[in-house]
């Protein structure tokens, strides 16, 4: 199911900018393998969400 979802997201990204939030590392990898993208990992510490560097 995730590969099919990734293909749909990749196709949509050809026509529009996509911002996607996911807890699925597998989905993120599938999308990154099929389209150029900028990925950010986030973490929550003490109630604050931060970008992981």
Residue whose tokens read 């150029």: 36
Residue whose tokens read 């900018």: 17
- With H, G, I as helix, E, B as strand and everything else as coil, classify residue 28: helix
Task: Note the pTM of the prediction, 2 decimals.
Answer: 0.80
Task: Give the whole-angstrom CA distance, residue 48 versus residue 38.
Answer: 22
pLDDT computed for residue 47 by the predictor: 96
Residue 3 has pLDDT above 90, yes or no: yes
At 53, the pLDDT band (50, 70, 90 cuts) reads confident
Question: pLDDT tens digit string along 12-52?
Answer: 999 999 999 999 999 999 999 999 999 999 999 999 999 99
């Amino acid at each position: 199911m995730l590969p099919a979802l990734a293909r749909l997201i990749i196709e949509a990204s050809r026509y529009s900018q996509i911002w996607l939030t996911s807890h699925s590392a597998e989905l993120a990898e599938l999308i990154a393998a099929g389209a150029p993208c900028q990925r950010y990992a986030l973490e929550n510490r003490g109630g604050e969400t931060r970008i992981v560097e």
